[in-house]
A and B are shown apart, each in its own frame.
Chain A
Amino acid sequence: MRIDSIQLTNFRQFYGATPKIELAHGDKNVTVIHGMNGSGKTALLNAFTWILYGTFSKGFRNTDQLINKRAIVETPAGQKIECSGELNFEHAGRNYRAKKVLDAVASDKIGYPIVREKETILQSQDTDGQWKPVHDIESTIGKILPRDLHSYFFFDGERVEKIVNPEKEERADLARAVKTILKLEPLERTIKHLKMARKHFEDEMSRYGNDLTKKLIAEKEILDDNIESSEKDISNGVENVAAQKDLVRKLHERIAKFDSVKHLQDERDRLLTTIDEKKSSIKENSQQLKALISDRAYLLHSHGQEEYFQELIKSLKERGEIPAGIKSQFVEKLIKDQNCICGRSLNPTNDNQCKAAHTAVSEWLNTAGLQQIEDRAIELGARTNNWNDRRSDLQDRLKELTRIEKTEHAEIDKCNTALKKISKELEDCPLEKVSSLEKKRKEEDHKYSQLLERLGADKRERLKQAEHLKELEKQLDKIGAQNAKQKIAHRRRDTADEVIKATSLVLKLMDKKWRGSLENQIQQTFKSISVKPYIPKLNKDYSIELIDTVGGGDVAFSQGESLVLSFSFISAIIEEARKFSAEKSEVYAPEDTEYPLIMDSPFGALDDTNRSHVASTISILADQVITMVSKTQWREEVEDAMMPRIGKSYVLTYFSPREDTLISEIRLGKNTHPLIKRSTNEHEYTTIEEVPNA
């Protein structure tokens, strides 16, 4: 999607019709709109989302009062007041025009008029230049820039926390948005609808099947419901655990803000990191132990067997049975070819001599050795030679791994004892606020442990259900189909089942691939912008954690870091969508992956270095950038970084009715432009003008 222009009429601060605001694209893809606080920057951002989706950003107030106040007052009673927004954009080589209109009739009473909202009009331009209506507006816009995603591309720089630090309910939205852009969402829906289809064909199987089939399918239906409920429990459990962990982390941060106990909280953080490390070590240890037992446990159960085997080989050799003087394969070949090595024929039908020779040679088979057995015996003999050494090595490794596990458990116990001590000290702290925060933390930490335990139990239950399901399906397959109708229902159900299983695997693999790639992209962009020694880590729900590469553990991020992370995240999403579209796929058709980025006040919370890095990075990573900035945000370093890519510049001039209005201006290039002017009437309003030769 490339936005070409926007035009507003009587929309919030904008009185009358603005000129068509042309937006830059191509090599010079940045449009900068300068304006003071309250001059209409946020209104402009919201005009885009209002026209396309009918939505507003969180910070945009009084969304039921969009009509410009001066227009309301100046329109004679009984006459229509129009408030509208028109957006022209291009997508996949096609031009579109979206228009949203609000109608109101002015009255002679004071107050806001009654508004009648008209639906959005969407038109697309044919190759002959004619504009034709698009009827399925929501679906068409959804395909161009999904509704779930729009807040990531039209965003309020002062309210970006939800991308990197989402609340519990926002986590699901975030995951859905990423899955939409990475095309995982249709696979999830495929599985959902195929499960319904499978159930439909199982019902048919039951209808045409015998009593046992009916009984098994009824049992399976109950099990399917239980599985669905278990999966929901697990999914909720994962979300609850993450949210509770976050809550506890925030309490830790609040305690650490008290200087007198900061050292205790720091020590607690260190101990918790140590516990995490020890737990990882135990897990790794346990995996090694399992692998070792699975590979080499036979050595422990075969004590004495190798000596017996060596003795056996030795006695066979002593008796001359191995290596055998003659191999059975050789004798068999002579009989088959009917020729002895001495030249005599071995065809028993020739004459008596040949018959006798054939009998004699055939008798050799009784004493001949089998080549394979002999080879195997020699190979086994060689292998068992060092069993004693390998057994002893295995015993040493097992002892070592058990020792490590014990040591790690002891370390964890020590850490837990120290943690209890810290908690007690904090609870007994003379500062009442610290004491009550610690009590609250203990409660929440206890809840966190309970949630983890419940999640573990739900996962175990799900494993049991999977076993039960496997058994039922095995029984159903064993019964098979009893008639033609049931046979076809069976085939259809089996196919649905096969596709469900394969799609689930495809989904898992795609999720792994794109998640890894997305995380890598976020890390690269973050590294290029931030100077901090942190690495962003993408969680399962696509929220982001910052890991301290020096001190260890996750770190709380400032508003500036949130912004840098948000930019990294958004630019990574754009890059991944591009890569995704570039890949040839049997299923997904190539798509236009040009994305605009419309940002209101994006540089406010950043320091000088980050501001410059963000400004230069974002204008390269996004295809089109439209940024609204205040005078204080438009610093030299931002201007320098963005200048090579600025294609268009506009200034919002706010007209204030106050007599003591302080006039303000901004210098852009060689000229100055008014940001605040005195209104010539009693109304406040904003005009927008293009800065020539941007």
Chain B
Amino acid sequence: MPEKIDEFLPIKEAKPEAKEVFKKVVRLEMDNMHRENPALEDTVINMIRDIIK
């Protein structure tokens, strides 16, 4: 059996703003996983701008 690991530990230990970026970007990618969205790169940039002002 594989050993017990907390795979989200690296994010849990990150700075609060990095955690927020991670959650928002992963959710965005999940929502767009099955469709072509060329604007994703800009959305990610704007997300970071909004979080770090």
B33 A180 Cβ-Cβ under 8 A: yes
| CB proximity of B47 to chain A, nearest CB, Å | 8
B1 A588 Cβ-Cβ under 8 A: no
A510 B7 Cβ-Cβ under 8 A: yes
Q: Which of A566-606 contact B (CB under 8 A)?
A: 585-588
B interface, size bucket: 20 to 34
**What is the bound-complex CA distance between A189 and B32, given in angstroms?**
10
Given A496-B48, A506-B8, A517-B2, decide whether A189 and B18 contact each other with a Cβ distance below 8 A. Answer: no
Which residues on the B side are within 8 Å of A185 (C-beta)? 33
Which residue of A has the minimal Cβ distance to B41?
A196
Given A495-B52, A498-B15, A513-B2, decide whether A193 and B34 contact each other with a Cβ distance below 8 A. Answer: no
Which residues on the B side are within 8 Å of A189 (C-beta)? 29, 33, 40
Given A512-B5, A587-B27, decide whether A502 and B41 contact each other with a Cβ distance below 8 A. Answer: no
| CB proximity of B21 to chain A, nearest CB, Å | 5
A138 B34 Cβ-Cβ under 8 A: yes
**What is the bound-complex CA distance between A113 and B5, given in angstroms?**
60
Residue picked from A491, A503, A588, most chain B C-beta under 10 Å: A503
Q: Which of B1-37 contact A (CB under 8 A)?
A: 1-2, 5-11, 13-15, 17-18, 21-23, 25-27, 29-30, 33-35
A197 B45 Cβ-Cβ under 8 A: yes
- A516 contacts partner chain B, Cβ-Cβ < 8 Å: yes
- A186 contacts partner chain B, Cβ-Cβ < 8 Å: yes
A509 B7 Cβ-Cβ under 8 A: yes
Which residue of A has the minimal Cβ distance to B18?
A498
Partner of B10 from the list A141, A200, A505, A520 (CB cut-off 8 Å) is A505
Residue picked from A138, A190, A496, most chain B C-beta under 10 Å: A190
**What is the bound-complex CA distance between A516 and B4, given in angstroms?**
11
B22 A499 Cβ-Cβ under 8 A: yes
Which residues on the A side are within 8 Å of B34 (C-beta)? 138-139, 141-143, 146-147
B26 A190 Cβ-Cβ under 8 A: yes
Given A190-B25, A520-B1, A520-B2, decide whether A197 and B8 contact each other with a Cβ distance below 8 A. Answer: no
Which residues on the A side are within 8 Å of B6 (C-beta)? 509
Which residues on the B side are within 8 Å of A588 (C-beta)? 30
- A242 contacts partner chain B, Cβ-Cβ < 8 Å: no
Partner of A201 from the list B14, B25, B48 (CB cut-off 8 Å) is B48
Q: Which of A103-151 contact B (CB under 8 A)?
A: 136, 138-139, 141-143, 146-147
**What is the bound-complex CA distance between A141 and B7, given in angstroms?**
29
| CB proximity of B23 to chain A, nearest CB, Å | 6
Q: Which of A186-218 contact B (CB under 8 A)?
A: 186-187, 189-190, 193-194, 196-197, 200-201
A499 B44 Cβ-Cβ under 8 A: no
Which residue of B has the minimal Cβ distance to A591?
B30
B29 A190 Cβ-Cβ under 8 A: yes
Which residues on the B side are within 8 Å of A587 (C-beta)? 8, 22-23, 26-27
A197 B33 Cβ-Cβ under 8 A: no
A488 B52 Cβ-Cβ under 8 A: yes
B25 A499 Cβ-Cβ under 8 A: yes
B35 A139 Cβ-Cβ under 8 A: yes
- A613 contacts partner chain B, Cβ-Cβ < 8 Å: no
**What is the bound-complex CA distance between A161 and B5, given in angstroms?**
33
**What is the bound-complex CA distance between A512 and B3, given in angstroms?**
10
**What is the bound-complex CA distance between A201 and B8, given in angstroms?**
26
**What is the bound-complex CA distance between A516 and B44, given in angstroms?**
32
Which residue of B has the minimal Cβ distance to A503?
B22
| CB proximity of B7 to chain A, nearest CB, Å | 4
A197 B14 Cβ-Cβ under 8 A: no
Which residues on the B side are within 8 Å of A496 (C-beta)? 21, 48
Which residues on the B side are within 8 Å of A197 (C-beta)? 41, 44-45, 48
- A252 contacts partner chain B, Cβ-Cβ < 8 Å: no
- A492 contacts partner chain B, Cβ-Cβ < 8 Å: yes
| CB proximity of A543 to chain B, nearest CB, Å | 19
| CB proximity of A136 to chain B, nearest CB, Å | 7
Which residues on the B side are within 8 Å of A136 (C-beta)? 35
| CB proximity of B22 to chain A, nearest CB, Å | 5
List of 10 A-B pairs having minimum Cβ-Cβ separation, nearest first: A142-B34, A516-B2, A509-B7, A186-B29, A505-B10, A139-B35, A502-B10, A498-B18, A193-B44, A189-B29
Taking A139-B34, A139-B35, A496-B48 as given, write out 5 further A-B residue pairs in contact, using a Cβ cutoff of 8 Å, ordered by the A residue number. A186-B33, A197-B45, A499-B11, A586-B23, A587-B23
28 contacts between A and B (CB under 8 A): A138-B35, A142-B33, A143-B33, A186-B26, A186-B29, A193-B41, A193-B44, A197-B41, A197-B45, A197-B48, A492-B49, A495-B17, A495-B18, A495-B48, A495-B51, A496-B48, A499-B11, A499-B18, A499-B25, A502-B11, A502-B14, A503-B11, A506-B8, A509-B6, A510-B7, A513-B7, A586-B23, A587-B22
On A, residues with C-beta under 8 Å from B are 136, 138-139, 141-143, 146-147, 180, 183, 185-187, 189-190, 193-194, 196-197, 200-201, 488, 491-492, 495-496, 498-499, 501-503, 505-506, 509-510, 512-513, 516-517, 520, 585-588
